[in-house]
Amino acid sequence: MNVLKDILYKVPIDAVTGNTSVAVNALCFDSRKVSLNDVFVAIRGTESDGHAYIEGAVKKGAVAVVCEEIPKDIVNGITYVQVSDTHAALAIMASNYYGNPSVNLKMVGVTGTNGKTTIATLLYQLFRKAGYKVGLLSTVKILVDDKEYKATHTTPDPVTINYYLDLMTQEGVEYCFMEVSSHGIAQKRTQGLHFTGGVFTNLTHDHLDYHNTFAAYRDVKKSFFDNLPKSAFALTNVDDKNGIVMMQNTAAKKYTYALKSYADYRAKILENQFGGLLLKIGENEVWVKLVGRFNAYNMLAIYAVARLLGLEEMEVLRLLSELDSVQGRFQYFISGKKITTIVDYSHTPDSLRNVLETINSIRTGNEELITVVGCGGDRDKAKRPLMAAIASELSTRAIFTSDNPRTEDPEAIIKDMEKGVEPLNFKKTLSITDRKQAIKAACQMAGENDIILIAGKGHETYQEINGVRKDFDDFKIAEEMMKELHK
């Protein structure tokens, strides 16, 4: 049994009514999931205000409530704790509840617009290959050494995070690599965690529906580094124009990486092909299986983290060359007529540009490059015309289709995309709302040596339309289609 005041350790408290020595069962921030003797934390969210559900939570058996405003009608025998920020309180309480597992792990958080999943997943792979027990919290999956769990968020809520960190410590895990999303930082999901290191990848347009301005989005990312302890390292990409900004107020020890600028960790691309990259890292050359300039940045960040965590230079280089690409990130197959089909999770203007530029830099020039792309519903609308402009500019043909429309009208999303296409590129484009039909059209259009890029959904195994998720896997669909059409 946990005692409320122990769970509240280090939470700044404004007022209390009732007894904080009360025993509590679980920590809960959703009234619909409250059980007997739980402590309910009321969160002011984006859709609703958890304070409206305090009464319901108490009726369901909550024995204590943590909130920003104690309700007027308090119930006898229930403890009410007032704090100024319940998001932060929840995160600190979650760490306390699970016995602060992050202190017993070497945790590295990866943040930035693109590259988080790639870097965190490949660090997981690298450290396992080096013989350690490792954990991973990522967009694609959660891994507790070799045990796999389903991921619902890139950075889950703090109770879920600490639940898995606790599991990791029980399994003897030593290193944990986690993605830290901007929503996660803004909602303080990672507050109270003890990080050994933090990595910044890059910052480009995304999620402005949530953060409103690019400056606010940048400042949220920066606050992750502002909160790192002195004992941690902070590694940043100084080729990105916000790379230095991220480090300005951190107490952590600063390190830089770059392909172009002066930096502590530097790499050069010697070759860039479909088969992989030949990199020069420091004085050494290494072949890696990942493709594209952006992956040179990812590989260099991985190299730097591994070195900062104490692995030997030669061992890191050897292990880098063994890493396989991450599911749904530049994942490709070659079928009859030497047609290459690539599935990639590029769902931002920058990542789409990067992946298309990568393909253009390694194709010989005569082949068609057919891009199938859509934009998610209930997400940043400003991305839509930009992504359509990039797809139509950098491909020989672009097919606009649905991503996850969620609650929006799929055709309206496509109309928003079409507005970004330059008049000269319009004849290269086509819109097919049904994603499966769009993929089919691309497969039918493709001829000898052509390249198809299916962008936006990567590893996702569903498509969400009107709140309903139906099975949908870009890679599987394209593979079946190609088998049928180009035997």
Ligand X SMILES: Nc1ncnc2c1ncn2[C@@H]1O[C@H](COP(=O)(O)OP(=O)(O)OP(=O)(O)O)[C@@H](O)[C@H]1O
Which single residue is written with the structure tokens 């920020």? 85
Residue 354 found at the interface with ligand UAG (CB under 6 A): no
Residue 114 found at the interface with ligand X (CB under 6 A): yes
* Residues sharing a CB contact under 8 Å with residue 33, sequence separation 6 or more, in sequence order: none
Residue 218 found at the interface with ligand UAG (CB under 6 A): no
Q: Which two tokens stand for residue 431?
A: 């819109």
Return the one option of ligand UAG, ligand API, ligand X, none that residue 53 interacts with (CB less than 5 to 8 A, by type): ligand UAG
Min dist. Cβ of residue 10 to ligand X (A): 30
Site string for Mg ion, 140-159 (x = CB under 5 A): --------------x-----
How many other C-beta atoms can be found within 10 angstroms of the C-beta atom of residue 467? 7
Residue 43 found at the interface with ligand UAG (CB under 6 A): yes
Task: Tell me if residue 455 falls in helix, strand or coil.
Answer: strand
Q: Write down how long the chain is.
A: 487
Return the one option of ligand UAG, Mg ion, ligand X, none that residue 354 interacts with (CB less than 5 to 8 A, by type): ligand X
Q: Residue 37 and residue 461: Cα distance in Å, rounded?
A: 38
Are the beta carbons of 434 and 466 closer than 8 angstroms?
no
Min dist. Cβ of residue 411 to Mg ion (A): 28
Residue ranges in 394-413 that form contacts with ligand API under rule CB under 6 A: 403-404
Is the Cα dihedral 484, 485, 486, 487 positive or negative? positive
Residue 184 found at the interface with ligand API (CB under 6 A): no
Min dist. Cβ of residue 322 to ligand API (A): 28
Q: Give the CA radius of gyration of the chain.
A: 24
What is the residue-wise DSSP string for 358-374? HHHHHS-SSS-EEEEE-
Are the beta carbons of 83 and 12 closer than 8 angstroms?
yes
Strands (DSSP E) along 321-408, which ranges? 331-335, 339-344, 369-373, 397-400
Known binding residue 243? Answer is no
Q: Which is nearer to ligand API, 34 or 142 (CB)?
A: 142
**In the chain, what's the furthest Cα-to-Cα distance?**
78
Of 185-193, 344-352, 391-399, 406-414, the segment contacting ligand X by CB under 6 A is 344-352
Q: Residue 341 and residue 316: Cα distance in Å, rounded?
A: 31
Residue ranges in 443-482 that form contacts with ligand API under rule CB under 6 A: 456-457, 460
Site string for ligand UAG, 148-167 (x = CB under 6 A): -----xxx-x----------
Q: Which is nearer to ligand X, 96 or 325 (CB)?
A: 325
Residue 355 found at the interface with ligand X (CB under 6 A): yes
Q: Give the CA distances from residue 310 to residues 105, 136, 180, 306, in Å, rounded to whole numbers and listed in that order.
A: 15, 19, 23, 6
Of 40-48, 220-228, 381-389, 433-441, the segment contacting ligand UAG by CB under 6 A is 40-48
Q: Which two tokens stand for residue 465?
A: 């339309």
Q: Rounded to the nearest 5 degrees, what angle is found at the Cα of 124, between the Cα atoms of 121 and 128? A: 145
Known binding residue 460? Answer is yes
Min dist. Cβ of residue 458 to ligand API (A): 7
Which of 376, 384, 389, 438 is the binder for ligand API (CB under 6 A)?
A: 376
Which of 17, 21, 35, 48 is the binder for ligand UAG (CB under 6 A)?
A: 48
Return the one option of ligand API, ligand UAG, Mg ion, none that residue 117 interacts with (CB less than 5 to 8 A, by type): Mg ion
Is the Cα dihedral 335, 457, 123, 283 positive or negative? positive
Task: Tell me if residue 150 falls in helix, strand or coil.
Answer: strand
Which of 31, 118, 138, 154 is the binder for ligand API (CB under 6 A)?
A: 154
Which of 329, 379, 440, 457 is the binder for ligand X (CB under 6 A)?
A: 329
Which single residue is written with the structure tokens 């591994």? 306
Amino acid at 290: L
Give me the residue whose beta carbon is nearest to ligand UAG. Answer: 45
> What angle separates helix 410-418 from helix 383-394, to the nearest 10 degrees?
60
Residue 457 found at the interface with ligand X (CB under 6 A): no
Q: What are phi and psi of 469, to 5 degrees?
A: -100, 120
Could you list the residues known to form a binding site, using ranges: 31, 112-118, 154-155, 181, 187, 189, 379, 403-406, 456, 460
Q: Which residues bind ligand API (CB under 6 A)?
A: 154, 347, 376, 379, 403-404, 456-457, 460
Q: Which residues bind ligand UAG (CB under 6 A)?
A: 29-32, 43, 45-48, 50, 53, 153-155, 157, 181-184, 187
Q: Which residues bind Mg ion (CB under 5 A)?
A: 116-117, 139, 154, 179
